[in-house]
Amino acid sequence: MANHHPPPDLTGVKAVTEAGYRGDTEFVTSALDDPDPLMRRAALGAAHRLGLLDAPTFRRFLCDQEATVRRRAVELAARHRWEPTPPDDIVSLLIERCDDEWRVAEMSAFALGELGVINDSVEQTLRAMTLEHTDALCREAAVAALGCLGIGRATILAALDDRAAVRRRAVIALAPFDGPDVDAALRQALQDRDWQVRQAAEDLLTPPAD
């Protein structure tokens, strides 16, 4: 069946993207209020390049009505230079976004791992996502974030019983940990049916060359 929907007009998106490189702060700032989510998403990227994003802007767009805009805001929050760390309410919003539409949730787990903030809420959220989320990409992102933060040892070990992509991430996430349980899990992973899981385990068990 033919698709009769016309392609989106990306003229405005191109314009705001170029404005971000040109340094047109006025145009970029105005585009943040555009009713078109494609424009708001492009404006966020342009504002990031121009150094215009701040905590109030993130608070606004992490709650945008459009999932693709929220995902872009989460992605940029992970890359933002927070001084010295993101405000507590920004972290709380990222935790909330872990219960969002799966594409937003996956990026939110990644952001929590990148930002390096460790507290009980972060660990509990990533633990629940690793063990309970219905989407494998979200479980993969969550276990990777636990490894980045160096927390959630038991959760990471439990993820070694998941599907192959999650098991690979879980093996890599064990890198910050040591102990008999970790060694035993890595030796078991050497027998995994997925060659990438086996390779990751071998890499961690092999002492570095002098």
Extents of the domains making up the chain = 118-210
**pLDDT level of residue 157 (50, 70, 90 thresholds):** very high
Q: Provide φ and ψ at 109, rounded to 5°.
A: -60, -45
**pLDDT level of residue 2 (50, 70, 90 thresholds):** low
The size of the chain, in residues, is: 210
- As a whole number, the mean pLDDT across the chain is 94
**pLDDT level of residue 102 (50, 70, 90 thresholds):** very high
Whether pLDDT at 3 is above 70: no
| DSSP letters spanning 87-148 | -HHHHHHHHHHTTS-HHHHHHHHHHHHHH----HHHHHHHHHHHHH-S-HHHHHHHHHHHHH
CATH number belonging to domain 118-210: 1.25.10.10
State which H helix or E strand residue 28 sits in: helix 25-31
| DSSP letters spanning 142-176 | HHHHHHHHT--HHHHHHGGGS-HHHHHHHHHHTTT
**How high is the pLDDT of residue 5?**
60
d(CA 120, CA 209): 37
| pTM for the predicted model, two decimal places | 0.91
* Amino acid at position 3, single letter: N
Tokens of 19: 């404005």
